[in-house]
Structure 1
């Protein structure tokens, strides 16, 4: 893998020890200590307990999750919907623990929780030297998924937004650039295209509502007009890369099943942004339904409407 990361590695300076950053160091230090000392079963219980408490404190997010599920699955029974909301919050609490696991566990321990269920397609593309846009989703365990591909020898470039707090950024960068993974700024489209043209992998998340800019409105689950990014088609058309849906959801045994099992670019309508977004959304739905309770339902996925003046009206 070529060393072409455009994200500058933050350097440690004495300024990072200023008292205003002590909270960050203490918080991440405590997280690193907890995830390295406690066994996974205890971490699992702890994370989900934090999520259950968060459900009581985050009433507004409970409403968002509930409304998202109403919009996406209008025929779902009320009790099933409420059960999924609760499960989603428990998994949100677990996401904190999973971030600690990803950023602070040694590789030998991290490997133990992975199941390479199906990654042969990425290996084939790697052998052919063909770039792959690995389209994942905002699963609550996304941090684990990204590192997992690196641990399995399928390193890639993550689309990255630096943190405004320099101490946080120092820790975050190192957490996300382990096992050969590299980073590219989220607005550096030219660099993303170069990565794909050079036969590398780019981790990409086309599943959220990023606003009206460079977006179209196409079906997503039961919502007929869901704001969807056109970034996927832009990258695919300009780089001629493969499109591979990927995921890393946690199974009932506490293992993370890493999947990237097919290329979907054969019938992908690259030159038609609307058709391309609708086409990709079908595969995004398929990924989410592998473990829907582990997707980020707390995000206002359907906040934007074709009429700019009606933004957020679905959540009123």
Structure 2
């Protein structure tokens, strides 16, 4: 994709509120790190109180995945998790608006050789990410450490779309952006020896996936990791980003490749992906995005784990 370009049409009055909010976001991102953490925790408490549907989803997910925890412990975990979600908003501002020099002081990286070795050999890498709350700032750290092509979903608001792309692309001059649906583009990048960011840990339905166990639950799991590795002749290299809040830094860990993928069996590969993801979720449960309906798609005949969504009322035509 071409680099994002500013257009005069983005200054239309209908977008003034969006620009104003981005201005506030930019100013907040310049605050000292500790202040932003406190503000993020406050936002998390407000989300816990007022984002009722998201709270119900997170509560259900934690009950499904950690049934062995007493209810009081799960409630404490829920509160820490919502605080982490609020902090994620601050971290997105840091990733998009703080200088690369400032950001470089905020993280350490381990295991980068697992990414560099296949790159030096001209082999592509499926850089397997997971939906932790540090996802946005973690992507910035990775693009500052190694050339990475990212998957991108356009936003309906053109101003937000422009700012999002500018924020995400500014740290990696040699990195490219691929439309999320551009499967051929991703495969070409892998075949050229590029590292492509890919997160397989959300429920995209069963059309492009299989049911594989996650926390002992049959879970709709995309088989893209397996297919991209096979067709792109690429390594699957996972990475994680952990917020060490007491130290004010982040630990970026590039894990060894999952060499068993592709195995030739998409179900077996999905099981391996879920096993790895589950292990990371258990290591750092408070920083995972439990507010997503991870177990939304159920095998035929099973009831939904989540309450039905309220249907939006259609506006009457005058």
Shorter-chain TM-score tier: over 0.9
Q: Is the CA contact 1:73–1:222 (under 8 Å) kept in the aligned structure 2? A: no
What corresponds to 1:166 in structure 2?
158
Contact 1:159 1:203 in 2 (8 A): yes
Q: Secondary structure at the match of 2:242?
A: coil
**Which residue of structure 2 lines up, in the alignment, with residue 295 of structure 1?**
288
**Alpha-carbon offset, residue 269 of structure 1:** 4.5
Provide the residue aligned with 1:145 in structure 2.
138
Q: TM-score, normalized by length of structure 2?
A: 0.92
Q: In the alignment, is residue 72 of structure 1 matched against residue 79 of structure 2?
A: no
**Per the alignment, in what secondary structure is the counterpart of residue 134 of structure 1?**
strand
Tell me if 1:27 matches 2:21: yes
User: Is residue 209–residue 300 contact of structure 1 (8 Å, CA) maintained in 2?
Assistant: yes
Instruction: Tell me what 1:198 maps to.
Output: 192
Matched-pair contact (CA < 8 Å) for 1:132–1:200: yes
Q: Distance in 1 between matches of 2:74 and 2:27?
A: 36
| 282-291 or 225-234: bigger deviation | 282-291
Match of 1:115? 108
The counterpart of 1:213, out of the listed 201, 207, 218, is: 207
Instruction: Determine the C-alpha separation between the residues in 2 that align with 1:226 and 1:202.
Output: 24
1:188 and 2:182 aligned: yes
1:4 corresponds to: none
Residue 173 of structure 2 corresponds to residue 176 of structure 1: no
State the shift of 1:76 in Å.
1.6
| C-alpha contact (below 8 Å) 2:230/2:262 kept by paired residues | no
Contact 2:97–2:167 under 8 Å retained in 1: yes
After superposition, what is the alpha-carbon deviation per residue over 1:82-127, rounded to whole angstroms, capped at 9, x for unaligned? 1111111111111110000000011000111111133221122222
Question: Aligned residue for 1:314?
Answer: 305
User: 1:276 aligns to what?
Assistant: 269
Alignment partners' CA distance in 1, 2:122 and 2:285: 33
Measured in 2, the distance between the counterparts of 1:133 and 1:50 equals: 34
C-alpha separation in 1, matches of 2:2 and 2:288: 30
What is the match of residue 40 of structure 2? 47
Unpaired runs of 5+ in structure 2?
A: 308-318
Using the alignment, how far apart are the partners of 1:125 and 1:290 within structure 2? 27
Query: Hey, what's the Cα distance between the residues in 2 that align with 1:249 and 1:178?
Result: 22
Range 8-17 or range 73-82, more displaced: 8-17
Secondary structure of the structure 2 residue equivalent to 1:11: coil
Show structure 1 runs of 5+ residues with no match. Answer: 1-6
Pair 1:260-2:251 in alignment: no
For the residues of structure 1 that align with 2:62 and 2:239, how far apart are their CA atoms?
23
* C-alpha contact 2:109 2:254 (8 A) present in aligned 1: no
Distance 1:141 1:26 in 2: 25
Q: Shift of residue 291 of structure 1?
A: 1.6
Measure, in 1, the Cα distance between the counterparts of 2:284 and 2:65: 15
Query: 1:98 corresponds to which residue?
Result: 91
Residue 305 in structure 1 maps to residue 298 in structure 2? yes
Q: How many residues matched? A: 304
What TM-score results when the alignment is normalised by the length of structure 1?
Answer: 0.93
- The ranges of structure 1 where at least 4 consecutive aligned residues each deviate by more than 4 angstroms after the TM superposition are none
Q: Are the equivalent residues in 2 in contact too, given 1:87–1:293 (CA < 8 A)?
A: yes
SS at match of 1:68: helix
Aligned residues: CA RMSD: 1.4
